[in-house]
Structure 1
Amino acid sequence: MILIGYSGHAYVVHGIFMALCLHVNGYCDKEEKEQNPFSLRYYGNEMSVAGLEAMQQQKFFIAIGNNTIRKNIYYQLAGQNLFPVNAVHPSAIIDDSVSIAGHGVMVSAQVTINALARVCIGAICNTGCIIEHECEIGEFSHVGPGAVLCGNVKLGDHSFVGAGAVVKEGIKIGKNVMIGAGSVVVKDIPDAVTVVGNPARVLKMK
């Protein structure tokens, strides 16, 4: 197994694969890291000859928290017919009716995903978040640690829900939205805004 990206978020992903008894032996990044807590081999950047050869021979995962960077790398590699596996921690509670895309999804420890929810490609469901029935988590979006999405919430592509935020049932959140940590969302949110507070209010347009 190879990780693309090797910093804090990747350390969590490494733990997921260890919990699954899948050995991680290397990483790709812009440059070799001075800090290498798991003694992984450096394969160069993900588009280098060594990096591409390694990913042709081994499974890999894009272990980068930034939605835009993760998306861009995904499509660069898709152009080479290379697609990441999913990283789903064995402690996650996932209803049998949940639909999870086949590539690049992270579901961390103690996550709950309930009936008929849908998680799209490249999405992150971070530690301990709760995604209730019939929610949709858009492509390359990120639900932060401990966040709660009540039933029937639609989270748009490339959006971010900060740690501990709560989104009321039935809310629609646009694309490229950032919801601040601890916010309480009780109204629909349009595309490309940042919202914070309780109740959440628009802080700025992107």
Structure 2
Amino acid sequence: MDNIVMIGGGGHCKSVIDAALRSKRFGKIFITDVNLKPGDDIFGCEVVGTDDVLPKLLAEGTTKAFITVGFVKPSGLRSKLFYMAKDMGFSFPNIIDPSAVVSVNAKLGTGIFVAKNAVINAGATIGDNVIINSGAIVEHDSIIGDFAHVAVGTKVCGECSIGANTLVGAGATILQGVKVGSDAIIGAGAVVLKDVGTQCTAVGMPARILRGWN
């Protein structure tokens, strides 16, 4: 089994490691983080230093990496780390918790995390480095853009489109066919009945635009 390095050692890392251990797909799991000390561990997986050790890990045969920095608002950090590691030569597996249901007719990018009890239905397209968090549902023919986060308990109905680097907050519902732009925020519990533009924040039931950058 291949070894893998988790880039970022916070709370999101714990969820990803738990799923990775449950999947039994990997050998050693290493962690890099600026706020943890070498020799610390998370669920028995060793912290080996900051991102400065990534070239050494790669040279020693750890060729797989995963971005385990969380995403609570659009910042670009996850994409920056993803491309940094990709340029070094790392590849990115998808980590899917065994309790998740992913249709064989869904199309998946790379470096995707699908958490416990999440569902990705037939015809859905999930971009690179996306988080489909615990209990989230992405229905048929929906498109989730690169680096987006579909948070805990969210429902993305059929034929929706969620832009790159967008956060769909916990418990939100995106109604059938609605399009949400890139770098947007959908607030927790929002019910989105109509399209939301790029760099906009939408909250409420039904959702209203709270702030836009346009």
Selected match of 2:197 from 185, 190, 194: 190
Supply the distance in 1 between the matched residues of 2:112 and 2:203 (Cα, whole angstroms): 26
Selected match of 2:95 from 87, 100, 105: 87
- The answer for the alignment partner of 2:125 in structure 1 is 118
Selected match of 1:60 from 40, 62, 65: 65
Supply the distance in 2 between the matched residues of 1:33 and 1:143 (Cα, whole angstroms): 31
Counterpart of 1:26 in 2: which secondary structure?
strand
- The answer for the alignment partner of 2:45 in structure 1 is 40
TM-score for both structures, normalised by structure 2: 0.89
Counterpart of 1:43 in 2: which secondary structure?
strand
Which runs of structure 2 are paired with 1:56-205 in the superposition (5 Å)?
56=59, 57-58=61-62, 59-66=64-71, 68-101=76-109, 103-205=110-212
Counterpart of 1:163 in 2: which secondary structure?
coil
Alpha carbons 1:4, 1:62 under 8 Å: kept: yes
Unpaired segments ≥5 residues, structure 1: none
Q: Deviations over 1:142-178 (max 9, x none)?
A: 0001000010000000001001000000001000010
Unpaired segments ≥5 residues, structure 2: none
Aligned residues: 203
Supply the distance in 1 between the matched residues of 2:163 and 2:28 (Cα, whole angstroms): 31
TM-score for both structures, normalised by structure 1: 0.92
- The answer for the alignment partner of 1:17 in structure 2 is 20
Counterpart of 1:79 in 2: which secondary structure?
helix
**Stretch of structure 1 that moved more, 161-170 or 55-64:** 55-64
**Alpha-carbon offset, residue 40 of structure 1:** 3.2
Q: Deviations over 1:40-71 (max 9, x none)?
A: 3222222x1x2222145222211112252110
